[in-house]
Chains A and B, each alone.
Chain A
């Protein structure tokens, strides 16, 4: 088994050695602001996909938390960037992140209260069955 995979590993190590000087390897070894922004964007899109595709209203709420968290990641990354460029009030991004967390907590409390009231009246948590407003 090991003998079968040894040439593959050798090839990969060789490739890694060759790639060590390349630009991509350099940028992967030293992640900067853009990497954090990409991670934030991916988390945001995963959250959007969850909101749009799931039927369970509680999972939709969790996806919204994911979206808010991605926004927070962007705020903190830019805060660090501004600290490095020597901006005057660079921690403003962190202050804003505190407010985002406060709003997320309030939103979760209200939203889950609505879910419980809805479940008590309609006996369902599937969003496609909650269609009273549909003509």
Chain B
């Protein structure tokens, strides 16, 4: 949820306010909850002053936080990288929205998996309990 919210803020900062990327990343970090570090790392790389592109900064932040992400999430977040900061606001917005939808899809999938396996484990719990009762009786 955090990273999706962060991407949404980033998109709005760029599309509606034309806030420069380093500052927009900082604002997104404030909304990104437990994924704040991803946006903070990208912001600090951009602010180092070596002419790093948004794409490079985003991929570098993604690599540094690799341990947090499932493979699908990492791939969804990487969708935001190409041309980040280097095209017009409308293109930025489209790409970030795509990344946000993919991240949302990953989160939905994870939730569905959690529900499914949760149900299996719950059913197995009941079944084992019933079996234990039968054995004791």
Q: Indicate whether A and B interact.
A: no
